[in-house]
Amino acid sequence: MKYAALGELREGNHSQGEPRTLGYRRVRDGRVEERMIVLSAFSPLSPQALAISNLFVAILVIMAAIFALVTGILLYVIVRYRARPGQGEPRQNFGDTKLEITWTAAPLLLLVVVFFFTIHTMAAADPATHGRAPDLDVIGHQWWWEVRYPGSGAITANEIHLPVGRRMLVRLDSGDVIHNLWFPELGPKMDLVPGQTNYMWLEADKPGTYLGACAEFCGTEHAWMRLRAIAEPPAQFAAWQRHQLQPAARPAGGETARGGALFSQLTCISCHAISGVGGPTEGIAPNLTHFGERQTLAAGLFANTPANLAIWLRDPQEAKPGNHMPNMQLPEIQVHALTVYLESLK
């Protein structure tokens, strides 16, 4: 095995505090092995997700009842009207107006009921914005998520922070191809289309970490375009936003300072911005101002640890083939200095 449990993530269960493996990618004997958690929509934890779940359950019950009724009638007819020895041709019936009206009207009525249930669910899961300004912007890139809070100016990547119990309006855009944002426990999917702005609502009923992903194939690393919604009490969320506006901590010296100097001297700063240091204002690559506080790196591929960051810096293309960060062929001394510096950004 070239390196053990590359990208292995362990996350506390948001309801029980129990660890669970989210996924990993590793290379064993020259073969890439992957494992990732299956995201489920059957544990709704927001009003939007609950509305969709209730509609699904209601339609499932209706369909199960229809299946049982049709199967029951079919079995009854098979047994009751089976052929018997000596029995002649049965009496022919060339039509029954009442029966034909019944089996036409009943499905029509049923579809009308389902239609109104669906309209109600659509209003609950995706209500109109009524011209409201968005609370946050999410921009999809191959293969990471840019997250901006226009009200405060906070910028992060691959993590969305939400205040518990507050409905947040999300403006969705794409920087390259079509993506799709989906938090199964929090609500419906929504496309991010280049040149077209879409909107969706996000809300969490309780504090915790909710896993999300891109649900529209968008290229080589689509499966590892993951993100998280971190729901926290309103006061904690407000404190997090204020902290995000602070510039990055200045290196105290030693290896941290050497890493900071390397970040500016190499091409890192051409793509990645760090507040107080520099970098592009456009979302070419993830903003790294408070990188050390994030739970994952490479859009959910790795747990954010010094060991995993060093693996990423040595060869991003081997870790996540096709991503837009080139292999800089960094010597080990530079990898170590950059790792120390980036993990200090808190």
Q: In what order do the strands lie in the sheet with 198-202?
A: 154-157, 144-149, 136-141, 168-174, 198-202
Spans of the chain, pLDDT less than 50: 1-21, 27, 30, 32
Instruction: Please report the pLDDT score of residue 309 as a whole number.
Output: 92
pLDDT tens digits for range 327-342: 989 999 999 999 999 9
Instruction: Please report the pLDDT score of residue 9 as a whole number.
Output: 44
Rounded to 10 degrees, the C-alpha dihedral 287/288/290/292 comes to 140
In whole angstroms, give the CA distance from residue 31 to residue 199: 40
Task: Please tell me the CATH code under which domain 47-125 is placed.
Answer: 1.10.287.90
Instruction: Please report the pLDDT score of residue 35 as a whole number.
Output: 55
Q: At 84, list the tokens.
A: 């018997």
In whole angstroms, give the CA distance from residue 191 to residue 158: 17
Instruction: Please report the pLDDT score of residue 178 as a whole number.
Output: 96
Bridge-partner residues for 10, per DSSP? 21
Q: What percent of the chain has pLDDT over 90?
A: 52
Q: Contact, 282 vs 298, CB < 8 A?
A: no
Q: What angle do CA 111, 114, 115 make, to 5 degrees?
A: 85
Q: What are phi and psi of 240, to 5 degrees?
A: -60, -45
Q: Contact, 225 vs 218, CB < 8 A?
A: yes
Among 47, 12, 10, 14, smallest CA distance to 231 is for 14
pLDDT tens digits for range 250-262: 887 888 999 889 9
Which phi-psi region, left, alpha or beta, contains residue 175 (left: φ > 0; alpha: ψ -120 to 50)? alpha
pLDDT tens digits for range 45-88: 888 888 999 999 999 999 999 999 999 999 999 998 888 887 77
Q: What angle do CA 33, 291, 138 make, to 5 degrees?
A: 80
pTM above 0.85, yes or no: no
Rounded to 10 degrees, the C-alpha dihedral 191/193/199/202 comes to 40
Instruction: Please report the pLDDT score of residue 135 as a whole number.
Output: 94
Name the residue ranges covered by the structural domains of the chain. 47-125
